[in-house]
Amino acid sequence: MTETRTVHTSRLTGDELLAIRSLLDDAFEGDFTDDDWDHTVGGMHALVQEGGELVAHGALVQRRMLHGGRALRTGYVEGVAVRPGLWRRGHGSAVMEALEQVLRRGAYELGALGAADEAVPLYTGRGWQRWRGPSSVLAPTGIARTPDEDGCLFVLPLRAALDLDGELTCDWRPGDVW
């Protein structure tokens, strides 16, 4: 039996946090850093379990995005992963459905995420739109372009008026800023 639940980081047990980190380490084949982990905690988590085992995860954390002269309260998707060998069974869709329900409850003006190429069909199939404009970060030294992220960012418009060809600037954080 498959069960999906959403829970805030503060309500997760130590064992659950270890299981999530282990899943992310496995799914990202050792390319999931401590900074990536730090970006994943502190918000809402969607957990998919099958037979009591964690098989998929995603998190939604609050960030600020600058666009069109406004700072937008953004629900940013982090740490989406499905246990290797269990892909294409609907687990990723279950994670995104749970996170999108949280996004639509009214706390956020925008949903955003950075997508790996293999995950693009999951997001676009759910109505996420590719950001076509330039990306940047509000770094300690000022706004700096992040051209390597151009074409990899996706948004779920909620209440904010967006120009998908305009500039989108994220808030600063250590590690990967997007």
Q: At 46, which helix (H) or strand (E)?
A: strand 44-50
Domain assignment present for residue 177? The answer is: no
Domain assignment present for residue 178? The answer is: no
Domain assignment present for residue 29? The answer is: yes
The residues with which 8 forms a beta bridge, in sequence order, are 44
Domain assignment present for residue 97? The answer is: yes
Q: Is residue 1's pLDDT more than 90?
A: no
Are 33 and 75 in contact by the 8 Å Cβ rule? The answer is no
Domain residues for the domain of 76 are 2-171
Percent of the chain's residues with pLDDT above 70: 100
Q: Is residue 87's pLDDT more than 90?
A: no
Domain assignment present for residue 68? The answer is: yes
User: What CATH number should be reported for the domain holding residue 37?
Assistant: 3.40.630.30
- Say what the pLDDT of residue 39 is: 98
The residues with which 59 forms a beta bridge, in sequence order, are 45, 78
Q: Is residue 153's pLDDT more than 90?
A: yes
Are 119 and 81 in contact by the 8 Å Cβ rule? The answer is no
Classify residue 160 by burial, with Cβ atoms within 10 Å: 0-12, 13-18, 19+: middle
Number of separate domains in the chain: 1
For the entire predicted model, the pTM comes to 0.96
